[in-house]
A and B are shown apart, each in its own frame.
Chain A
Amino acid sequence: MCLGIPGKVVDVEEGPLRLGRVAFGDVVKEVCLAFVPAARPGDYVVVHAGSAIEVIDEEKALRVFEAFRIMEGP
């Protein structure tokens, strides 16, 4: 129920609902972007029940991944 799906913002239509299109792989869906006022095309957002709940910090995401890799050893 609380799992969100990460997707990439394609475009944004400003308005009270701040609707936009978000790409989940090949599937593009209309999503409410009102709760992520800073999200711009190209940003990754996590979408839950038709609303984006937050923007993913890509740099931090890559850093976590790097930490996983370091533990893997040479």
Chain B
Amino acid sequence: MRFVDEYRNAAAARPWIEAIRALVTRPWAIMEVCGGQTHSIVRFGIDELLPPEIRLIHGPGCPVCVTPVELVDKAVAIASRPEVIFCSFGDMLRVPGSASDLLEVKSRGGDVRIVYSPLDALKVAGDNPGRKVVFFAVGFETTAPANAMAVAEARRRGLGNFSVLVSHVLVPPALEAVLSSPQRQVDGLLAAGHVCAIMGTGEYAPLARRHRVPIVVTAFEPLDLLQGIHMVVKQLEEGRHEVENQYDRLVRPEGNLPARELIREVFQVKDRAWRGIGVIPMSGLGLREAYAAFDAERIFDVEGVGGPESPDCRSGLVLQGIIRPQECPAFGSPCTPDHPLGATMVSNEGACAAYYRYRRHTPA
């Protein structure tokens, strides 16, 4: 699309950096919530261009990274069954469980397939009536409508051989956890644009008020991020803490109503464990009782499956912005994208992988 190249124009970045420099009078720490934003920031070196007073902290915004070991273990158990075709986004295949991962299941002969959308998995189910097709439904609010649609469509078509292993997480409860932590270092937040495109901005206003923190809904291109940072810094310097929208070309305050409606119809909010962080109350989605027939956890009876996380992995601290990836003793050796100890090194959007890829030679 033609807009994209314009947003990446390096010459256009300079005035924004100057404008931020002119505003700043004291140190501020700003957290970007979304892994896609982390990737852009590290890749384009935005953090290094900013005045030294501004510190960017990477947030918990990668659903692959926060999928608990227990769910990966359940995925491995289900995918290992001979009657199952297990469909997943590619970045889940190498996320380590406690003893194995999906790629290993595949190399042992399991039928594990990479798909690009839940509707592709539905198609696999339609094409293979004699097999049981399971889709690993991972994601934040952005992915929830597509996953809800796949389940609703399976019910409409009466596809009895399709189910989903749900690993859905919600952003606002995670931010609540980050902001109310006694270790909190965050002064302002860039909220993830596409999550808000679905859910709107309503849930952020109470967070901004209660924690006295400016929250700016921000898109993903370098210039978008600079504009979002500028808006946060301006609020901080003026002592304001409001919700503002940098991404109003896409995000409406009420979000996407048909998508929200379908999410509500198919899913319900429930407690959820986040990898490396622990259980955050009411921070996940599970299938409603009316859709229990499509719930892979019930169909395959994997209750109690699941082992411990790697004791060497500090990803929980990385995800909460308490340490940077290079400060983990395992970073780069033994933990690399080829031999990841934690999901933050596996996922392209994980902070550890972004630093490994673009900052390997920068000392901590």
Interface residues in chain A, defined as those with a beta carbon under 8 Å from any beta carbon in chain B: 1-4, 6-8, 16-17, 32, 34-37, 44, 46, 48-51, 53-54, 56-58, 60-62, 64-65, 67-69, 71-73
CB of B108 closer than 8 Å to a CB of A = no
CB of B62 closer than 8 Å to a CB of A = yes
CB distance from A12 to the nearest CB of B (A): 15
Of A2, A6, A16, A34, the contact of B192 (CB 8 Å cutoff) = A2
Alpha-carbon separation in the docked complex, A61 to B61 (Å):
25
4 A-B pairs with the lowest CB-CB distances in the bound complex, closest first: A50-B117, A71-B15, A60-B249, A51-B146
Of B1, B12, B252, the contact of A6 (CB 8 Å cutoff) = B1
Contacts of A16 in B (CB 8 A): 153, 156
Majority secondary structure of chain A interface residues (helix, strand, loop or mixed): mixed
Indicate if the CB atoms of B15 and A49 lie closer than 8 Å. Answer: no
Indicate if the CB atoms of A32 and B349 lie closer than 8 Å. Answer: no
B residues contacting the other copy or chain, number (CB 8 A): 56
Alpha-carbon separation in the docked complex, A2 to B250 (Å):
14
Alpha-carbon separation in the docked complex, A1 to B146 (Å):
13
Indicate if the CB atoms of A1 and B64 lie closer than 8 Å. Answer: yes
Contacts of A7 in B (CB 8 A): 1
Indicate if the CB atoms of B143 and A71 lie closer than 8 Å. Answer: no
Alpha-carbon separation in the docked complex, A48 to B223 (Å):
21
Indicate if the CB atoms of B250 and A32 lie closer than 8 Å. Answer: no
Indicate if the CB atoms of B118 and A1 lie closer than 8 Å. Answer: no
Binary CB contact string for chain B from 147 to 168 against chain A (1 if under 8 A, 0 otherwise): 1010001001000000000000
